[in-house]
């Protein structure tokens, strides 16, 4: 996967931590920016699965054996999700073409139980990554992050810290 080092941060951008980044929270991290505006940024780390399934963390999710990912160090008990099925999970916020953040959680659980949603359609996280106004821009200027606009397919295919190795930086002029 090719990364543009000098591109604008937008909702839907993927961040890959620079190989020199030493913060233990973000070594080999790939983060999906779900919201970016004048107040700051909100993202979910998509490549760090944890040893829990949704049923282990959410009382209403009994018998739902979906993998959960560590979304980041902020509010580590808060559950978030992304999906690509607005027809089955209404009320989500559109991140990019065919990718949504959040939505009607009760409906999502119902659709999973009915077999209408699979792990190829929806992904769950605990915690998130957050930046204050201009903080993420400053980190990008320091080249702490490599940026790329990724496909929904790739986001749902990214399943381990090893996926970070697939990111290859390129110059914006290339």
Mean pLDDT check: name the lowest of 6-10, 113-117, 120-124, 131-135.
Answer: 6-10
Rg (CA), the chain: 16
On whether the pTM is more than 0.75, the answer is yes
Q: What is the pLDDT of residue 53?
A: 97
b/e burial code for range 59-86 (CB count within 10 A of at least 16 → b): eebeebebebbbbbeeeeeebbbbbbbe
Q: What is the pLDDT of residue 71?
A: 98
Q: What is the pLDDT of residue 111?
A: 98
Q: What is the pLDDT of residue 7?
A: 62
List pLDDT tens digits, range 57-69.
999 999 999 999 9
- Determine what percent of the chain is predicted with pLDDT higher than 70: 90
Q: What is the pLDDT of residue 157?
A: 85
Reading the block at residue 104, the tokens are: 């009607």
- The answer to whether 44 touches 58, Cβ cutoff 8 Å, is no
Q: What is the pLDDT of residue 149?
A: 78
Q: Which residues neighbour 166 within 8 Å (Cβ) at sequence distance 6 or greater? A: 1
DSSP 9: -
Q: What is the pLDDT of residue 67?
A: 97
Domains of the chain by start residue, with CATH:
2-82+126-160 (3.40.1740.10)
List pLDDT tens digits, range 3-47.
444 468 999 999 999 988 899 999 999 999 999 999 999 999 999
Distance CA 59, CA 110 (A): 14
């Amino acid at each position: 996967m090719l990364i543009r080092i000098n591109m604008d941060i937008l909702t839907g951008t993927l961040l890959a931590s620079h190989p020199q980044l030493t913060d233990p929270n973000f070594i080999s991290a790939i983060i999906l920016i779900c919201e970016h505006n004048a107040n700051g940024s909100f993202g979910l780390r998509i490549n760090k699965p944890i040893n829990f399934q949704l049923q282990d963390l959410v009382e209403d999710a009994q018998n739902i054996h979906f993998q959960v990912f560590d979304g980041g160090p902020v509010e580590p008990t808060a559950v978030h999700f992304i999906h690509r099925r607005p027809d089955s999970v209404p009320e989500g916020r559109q991140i990019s073409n065919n990718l949504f953040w959040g939505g009607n959680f009760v409906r999502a659980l119902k659709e999973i139980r009915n077999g209408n949603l699979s792990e190829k359609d929806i992904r769950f996280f605990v915690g998130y990554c957050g930046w204050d106004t201009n903080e993420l821009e400053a980190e990008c200027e320091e080249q702490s992050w490599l940026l790329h606009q990724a496909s929904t397919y790739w986001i749902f295919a990214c399943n381990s810290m090893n996926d970070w190795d697939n990111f290859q930086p390129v110059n914006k002029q290339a």
